Amino acid sequence: METIPARRIGKGEALIKSVSLFVTSGRKASVAAAAAAAAWKSRTERQGDGVSVKEARSRKMGDEAKCLPRIVEALRRNTHFSRQETEALVRVYQKLVASSADMMAGQAAGSGQGALLTSGGAAPGVCEGLDRAVFRELLHNAFDLVTEDVLMDRIFCAFDRTCCGSVRLEDWMSGLSVFLRGTLEERTAFCFLVYDLNNDGFITRDEMFSLLKNCLMKQPGDEDPDEGVKDLVELVLRKLDTDRDGKISFQDFQTAVREEQLLLEAFGLCLPSEGACQTFMATLCS
């Protein structure tokens, strides 16, 4: 097994501590449990106007506690995780959802909509799960992943496979499976999804330009600072566009990455480092 430099581990441990503080700080067990129960089925329909939050939660928790082992087993089968790891990751998800739910309940109470909340704290019409803000904080704190705003947003979209605006339990587990244990093929597909900004199946010159424009330092006195970026786009295109049609298809990208793995993150960081992954898993199961 590859050894990680001590400095890296130390930093990672601090990060994990900060994320566990983040997920546990000030959360009431009852809220966590209710939000967790809500996550199991990822239902978005409303319980009906006038059903109290407490009533809905207790009914749902009774039903869903019975399903828990089956759900964990289904999640385990579709990911690279063991049963113990799956259970631990589900618990982290529950805590994060609970912290999201707390925030939303606070906001709803402030606007007088508290009674209309569905169980789990999601406001009517809003999908249960992790929202962008919580997810972003997690990428930063737990995986030391700090990257361009556009990439942070695209990583969220790559996790949120149903495009419902939140990362649900299934999204969470399959996304982390790629992040933490993904094969080269899986990571290639993930990165392509992130870089294909408009989801049309190709990375075009315009998309490459958007992704690479902040890579180059602007020199004072540059007449056209975009020129350097355009040159860089052409250079990367020559490397990646294996069929020479002027845009990068998944096939192009896959072929290029198989030959040279460094091209995997050619358009910007979108996966956590191996050290950050190992530390996350070690802390998770300790």
Binding residues for Ca ion, rule: CB under 5 A, are 196, 198, 200, 202, 241, 243, 245, 249, 252
Minimum CB separation of residue 204 from Ca ion in Å reads 5
Bridge partner residues of 249 (DSSP): 202
Nearer to Ca ion, 128 or 241 (CB): 241
Nearer to Ca ion, 34 or 256 (CB): 256
Nearer to Ca ion, 81 or 195 (CB): 195
The size of the chain, in residues, is 286
Say how far apart CA 276 and CA 11 lie, in whole Å. Answer: 9
> What does each C-alpha distance from 136 to 12, 181, 213 come to in angstroms?
17, 20, 22
By C-alpha distance, which of 104, 138, 136, 137 is closest to 120?
Answer: 104
Minimum CB separation of residue 231 from Ca ion in Å reads 19
Nearer to Ca ion, 68 or 157 (CB): 157
3-state secondary structure of 145: coil
Minimum CB separation of residue 184 from Ca ion in Å reads 20
Minimum CB separation of residue 237 from Ca ion in Å reads 9
Type of residue numbered 38: A
Say how far apart CA 87 and CA 156 lie, in whole Å. Answer: 22
Minimum CB separation of residue 29 from Ca ion in Å reads 45
Nearer to Ca ion, 206 or 226 (CB): 206
Bridge partner residues of 92 (DSSP): none
**DSSP code of 80?**
S
Cα 203 to the center of its chain, rounded Å: 21
Say how far apart CA 228 and CA 248 lie, in whole Å. Answer: 20
Minimum CB separation of residue 162 from Ca ion in Å reads 20
Return the ∠ at Cα 234 (arms to 231 and 226), rounded to 5°: 35
Nearer to Ca ion, 73 or 200 (CB): 200
